[in-house]
Amino acid sequence: MAATLGVWFAPEAIASPDLVRNTQLMEELGYETFWLAETFGRDPFALAANLGAHTTKIKLATGIANVFHRHPGAMKQAANTLGEQTGGRFILGLGISSPAIVQKIRKLDYSKPVTFLRNYLDEYEAAKYFAVPPPDAVPVVLAALGPKMLQIARERSAGAITYNMTPEHTAIAREALGPDRVLAVEQKVILGGSPAAARTTAASVLKFYVRAPGYRRAWNSLGYSDADIDDASPRFVDGVVACGNEAAIRERIDAHIAAGADHVCIQPLHPEAGIGRIDTDALRTFAPGSSS
């Protein structure tokens, strides 16, 4: 089966009517899935319900819903409701997020996140749901970077979604998951502009993530030093964010697919605004079926 393309975005700065139009554009362009972030902005389930009501084909996925924020029974209610309302177009992406969000800001216990997730999945699977069911079971994928999380994704879910990673990591993840699990990878892209300006924008976006120990461990394992990460070295920024012309970015997308990705969800960063606006030029350029 050929790899598919999707879009990942944190659309907090985009007004709801504009976000609906952007999602409809993604659908028209043939993207398979729109992945919705969760931090401290919109509720991703309410957002997916609204976008699902204004679209007919594109799948909607949480990328990811934080397991510490919802009881597993409530999580299943939300997932199944969306699966039924959208006619089977919802994917539940789950993850343990980071201590900066869960512990420091939400004031929740983050002492044993892997154990918490295993128990959470047990309770999610056992939770009751008495409403009209979705046409098929809602697929569950797990945010996974390191070996423990990839193992849980292989054993307990339909697959994994990775984030802020390189094609080298995609190959590692594919080996860990085996051939029968879905591997979706997020890839930030900045189309056009000068290399220096693109790196400045990319570094400003990555700054949010460098404090998360999970990302840092994964980046270290790929050969990036703490100095690379803290100083946003060109080597590090270029490795994580695909910047440049169409050919260079297509090469990065193809590298993930060659390394074993089933699905690549681009995050089309605006060259100046970063995550403030979806770059619709990039959406059109890398739409499924388009070519150089």
Give the CATH number, domain containing residue 13.
3.20.20.30
Tell me the two tokens of residue 28. Answer: 């028209």
In a domain? residue 74? yes
Q: What is the pTM of this model?
A: 0.96
pLDDT for res 291: 63
Instruction: Round the average pLDDT of the chain to a whole number and report it.
Output: 95
In a domain? residue 292? no
In a domain? residue 42? yes
* Alpha-carbon gap, residue 60 to 71, rounded angstroms: 21
What is the CB-side half-sphere exposure of residue 32 using CA atoms within 13 A? 14
User: For the segment 34-48, what is each residue's pLDDT rounded down to a tens digit?
Assistant: 999 998 899 999 999
| Helices H / strands E in the chain, number of each | 13, 11
* Alpha-carbon gap, residue 262 to 157, rounded angstroms: 15
User: For the segment 96-120, what is each residue's pLDDT rounded down to a tens digit?
Assistant: 999 888 998 899 999 999 999 999 9
In a domain? residue 291? no
In this predicted structure, the answer to whether residue 292 has a pLDDT above a threshold of 60 is: no
In a domain? residue 193? yes
List the domain range (segments joined by +) for residue 165.
4-285
Name the amino acid, one letter, at 277.
R
- Does residue 14 have a cis peptide bond before it, meaning omega lies within 30 degrees of 0? no
* Alpha-carbon gap, residue 211 to 223, rounded angstroms: 17
pLDDT for res 131: 98
- The DSSP 8-state label assigned to residue 157 in this structure reads S
Q: Are 142 and 125 in contact (CB under 8 A)?
A: no
In this predicted structure, the answer to whether residue 190 has a pLDDT above a threshold of 60 is: yes
